[in-house]
Amino acid sequence: MSLKRKDLLSLAPLSAEEIKLILETADSFKEVTGREIKKVPALRGRTVVNLFFEPSTRTRTSFELAAKRLSADVINFSPSSSSVVKGETLLDTARNIEAMQADIIVLRHSSAGAAETLARGVKSSVINAGDGWHEHPTQALLDLYTIRERGLPFEGLRVAIVGDVSHSRVARSNIYALAKLGAEVRVVGPPTMIPMGVDKLGAKVFYDLDEALRGVQVIMMLRLQLERQGRALFPTIREYARLYGLTSDRVKLAEAGAIVMHPGPINRGVEIAPEVADSLSSVILDQVANGVAVRMGILYLMSGAN
């Protein structure tokens, strides 16, 4: 078993075995990140380019650290500091980066499908670090890793994904992957934030949070994008927080020992109450720590010679 893919664009086409391979590979890197010297020479001489057209601190930093801990050279490209503002297209920018012999390009872009377009146009491996509302495969993989680390088996696992599912690439990647691994996925949020046809991806739709949380082992909160307020998705932040905010009383509806996840950055007091974010059931900081190990695993697996 090995990952015979040039690119990691989406979790939709990955098999359960490929997902498990990535998680098992990340185990080795989790051990490396726990050492005093957190660096291995596996990607010496390779170049990883972080091409971020959307602002992101945590994902970019996580990829940068992952690449550096594998001894790769890392370059960070962001549009404000490059020729993109001068009108260069995505593909031209990428070809320039490729001409500098980048082995792996990590792309964050506001348009769904940008990573796919890029992957077709360049020989370098492309890793999708979030494309529009489409997918964010590495975030979902680190979520899966965190669930698995807690000893929860995926088969039959009950997971509630809460919030703005429509505009969440994290939710989409998680739904694909969790369904493949045999979990029972529930999505819950206001009707304006639940995409049409999500049931066809294997998720059960709920509009009432209390009902959705009953008996789940994993609560996956999504960030409320406050900038969407006033676009008829939800009336007020206060109302949203009352109906869909995760409080400690609501956590009690889930199975005892259930874990609370959030991809960050969190809006304290909106989708998640501060005491929940800081509680023992919260694995939010584990997710961040695991992100580096999981991304090291992905970079390693994608770094086979071209």
**Interface residues with other proteins (CB under 8 A)?**
1-4, 21, 24-25, 27-29, 31-32, 35-37, 39-46, 297, 300-301, 303-305
Residue closer to other proteins by CB (options 222, 293) is 293
d(C-alpha 195, C-alpha 171), whole Å: 11
Q: Which residue has the tokens 């695991």?
A: 290
Residue closer to other proteins by CB (options 24, 211) is 24
CB of 16 to other proteins, least distance (A): 17
**Using an 8 Å Cβ cutoff, are 268 and 120 in contact?**
no
**Using an 8 Å Cβ cutoff, are 203 and 212 in contact?**
no
Strands (E), 81-183: 104-109, 125-131, 158-162
CB of 148 to other proteins, least distance (A): 14
Residue closer to other proteins by CB (options 46, 167) is 46
d(C-alpha 178, C-alpha 40), whole Å: 31
Would you give the end-to-end CA distance of the chain in angstroms?
18
CB of 116 to other proteins, least distance (A): 23
Residue closer to other proteins by CB (options 44, 252) is 44
CB of 296 to other proteins, least distance (A): 10
Q: Which residues pair with 74 in a beta bridge?
A: 48
Cα 37 to the center of its chain, rounded Å: 27
CB of 288 to other proteins, least distance (A): 22
CB of 4 to other proteins, least distance (A): 7
Residue closer to other proteins by CB (options 24, 208) is 24
Residue closer to other proteins by CB (options 36, 227) is 36
